[in-house]
C-alpha cells in the first residue's frame, strides 16, 4: 500500500511576476493573458505521486503586492516548499528576492524550520525580452543553496520541472526527518571564481576590477592579471559568466598597462 502525505507549498515574489499563472499552468494546463491580481491569497489542492508516495499538495498562492502583506503574513507557518518567482523582464523583481526571503524568515519565526524549506527560484517570462540574464539568476540561487529554473507560464516551458523538483525536495526532506537534503551543486566551480566574476562585472574602475590601487606598476597589473586569468580562463572555468568576465579582464589589463607606461 502506498503511504500518503500532505504537504504545504507557497508562492512568493513581486506582484505580476507570474506566480498565479505558473500554478495555473501546472494544475490546469492553461494560460491567462489578462492580469488578475491575487487578492491576499488563493488556495488550491492537487494530488501527485512522488517517489512512490501519494502526495496531497496544499498550495497557498500569495499576492505579491505590498498592500496584501497583512493578509499573506499569516500563511507562512508550516510551509515546507516554496516557489520564489521573479520576472526576467523586470530587474526590480529580481532585486526583491532577498526581501522575500527576509519576509519568509521573519514570519516563520523558527529559523531551523525556515532553513529546511525547499525553495525553488523561478526566472519567469523567458518568452519575452529579458533584462536579467541566466547567469545572474543562477548565481543568486547557488549562493543561497536553492535550485534554479527558468520558465514561461505562457508557453509552458520549464513548468513541470519546477514542480517536480519542488515536490521531490519536500518529500526527501520529510523522509529525512524534516531536514532538507542539501542540493547537489552541479557547480564544478568555486566561490572564488564566482566572486572574481562578480567583481569584474560590477566594479567601478579597471583598478577595482583587478583588485589594484591607483598607481599600480606594470608588474602589479600583470601579476593580478595572471592570478585572475588562471581562475577564469574559459577553457578551464565552467563558472557561469567566465567568458564574459575573462573578456573584461583582458580589456582592463590592456587599459591599465597603457596607463602605466
Ligand atoms: P500577484 O497575484 O499580483 O502577486 O501577481 P502574480 O505574480 O500572481 O502574476 P500573474 O500570474 O497574475 O501574472 C501577471 C501577468 O503576467 C499576467 O498578465 C500574465 O498574463 C503575465 N504572465 C505570467 N507569466 C507569463 C509568462 O511566462 N510570459 C508572459 N509573456 N507573460 C506572463
Ligand atoms: Mg497572483
Nearest CA to ligand 1 atom 22: 18
Residue 160: DSSP 8-state:
H
The Cα 160–Cα 166 span in angstroms is 10
Q: Which CATH architecture has domain 191-260?
A: Orthogonal Bundle (1.10)
Nearest CA to ligand 1 atom 11: 18
What local confidence, expressed as pLDDT, does residue 154 receive?
98
Nearest CA to ligand 1 atom 17: 35
Enumerate the domain spans of the chain: 3-175, 191-260
Residues around ion ligand 2, judged by CB within 5 A, are: 19-20, 38
Q: Return the CATH fold of 3-175.
A: Rossmann fold (3.40.50)
Smallest Cα–Cα separation from 188: which of 236, 121, 246, 249? 236
Which segments in the chain show pLDDT lower than 70?
1-2, 184-188, 191, 261
Nearest CA to ligand 1 atom 20: 33
Q: Is 72 in the pocket of ligand 1 (CB under 6 A)?
A: no
Q: How far does residue 33's CA lie from ligand 1's centre (Å)?
A: 8
Cell match 568576465: residue?
Answer: 245
Q: Among the bound ligands, name the one nearest to the CA of residue 124.
A: 1
Q: What are the C-alpha distances in Å from 180 to residues 58, 119, 169, 175? A: 19, 10, 7, 9
Q: Is 35 in the pocket of ligand 1 (CB under 6 A)?
A: yes
What local confidence, expressed as pLDDT, does residue 191 receive?
67
Q: How far does residue 65's CA lie from ligand 2's centre (Å)?
A: 9
Q: Is 130 in the pocket of ligand 1 (CB under 6 A)?
A: no
Q: CB of 33 within 8 A of CB of 84?
A: no
Q: Longest Cα pair distance anywhere in the chain, in angstroms? A: 78
Give yes or no on whether 3-175 and 191-260 have one common fold: no
Task: Tell me if the pTM is above 0.80.
Answer: no
Q: Is 65 in the pocket of ligand 1 (CB under 6 A)?
A: yes
Smallest Cα–Cα separation from 152: which of 128, 136, 132, 134? 128
Q: CB of 203 within 8 A of CB of 255?
A: no
3-state SS of the chain: helix, strand, coil percent to 5? 45, 20, 35
Q: Is 162 in the pocket of ligand 1 (CB under 6 A)?
A: no
Query: Model ipTM?
Result: 0.99
Q: Please list the alpha-helical segments (H only) found in the chain.
A: 19-28, 69-72, 91-95, 97-108, 111-115, 134-144, 159-175, 191-202, 206-209, 218-232, 242-260
Q: How far does residue 24's CA lie from ligand 1's centre (Å)?
A: 10
The Cα 39–Cα 67 span in angstroms is 10
Sign of the dihedral through C-alpha 50, 53, 56, 59: negative
What local confidence, expressed as pLDDT, does residue 184 receive?
59
Strand partners, 58: 8, 45
What local confidence, expressed as pLDDT, does residue 187 receive?
59
Amino acid at each position: 500500500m502506498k503511504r500518503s502525505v500532505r504537504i504545504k507549498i507557497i508562492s512568493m515574489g513581486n506582484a505580476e511576476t507570474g506566480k498565479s499563472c505558473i500554478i495555473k499552468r501546472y494544475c490546469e494546463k492553461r494560460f491567462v493573458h489578462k492580469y488578475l491580481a491575487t487578492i491576499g491569497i488563493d488556495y488550491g489542492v492537487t494530488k501527485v505521486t512522488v517517489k512512490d508516495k501519494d502526495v496531497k499538495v496544499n498550495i497557498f498562492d500569495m499576492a505579491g503586492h505590498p498592500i496584501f502583506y497583512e493578509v499573506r503574513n499569516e500563511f507562512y507557518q508550516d510551509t515546507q516548499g516554496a516557489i520564489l518567482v521573479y520576472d526576467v523582464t523586470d530587474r526590480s523583481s529580481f532585486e526583491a528576492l532577498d526581501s522575500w526571503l527576509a519576509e519568509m524568515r521573519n514570519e516563520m519565526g523558527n529559523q531551523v524550520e525556515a532553513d529546511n524549506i525547499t525553495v525553488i527560484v523561478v526566472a519567469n517570462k523567458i518568452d519575452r525580452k529579458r533584462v536579467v540574464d541566466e547567469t545572474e539568476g543562477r548565481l543568486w540561487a547557488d549562493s543561497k543553496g536553492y535550485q534554479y529554473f527558468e520558465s514561461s507560464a505562457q508557453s509552458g516551458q520549464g513548468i513541470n520541472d519546477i514542480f517536480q523538483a519542488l515536490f521531490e525536495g519536500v518529500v526527501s526532506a520529510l523522509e529525512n526527518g524534516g531536514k532538507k537534503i542539501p542540493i547537489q551543486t552541479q557547480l564544478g566551480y568555486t566561490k572564488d571564481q564566482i566572486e572574481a566574476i562578480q567583481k569584474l562585472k560590477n566594479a567601478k574602475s579597471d583598478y577595482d576590477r583587478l583588485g589594484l590601487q591607483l598607481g599600480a606598476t606594470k608588474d602589479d597589473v600583470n601579476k593580478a592579471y595572471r592570478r585572475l586569468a588562471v581562475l577564469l580562463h574559459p577553457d578551464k572555468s565552467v563558472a557561469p559568466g567566465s567568458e564574459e568576465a575573462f573578456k573584461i579582464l583582458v580589456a582592463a589589463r590592456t587599459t591599465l598597462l597603457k596607463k602605466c607606461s
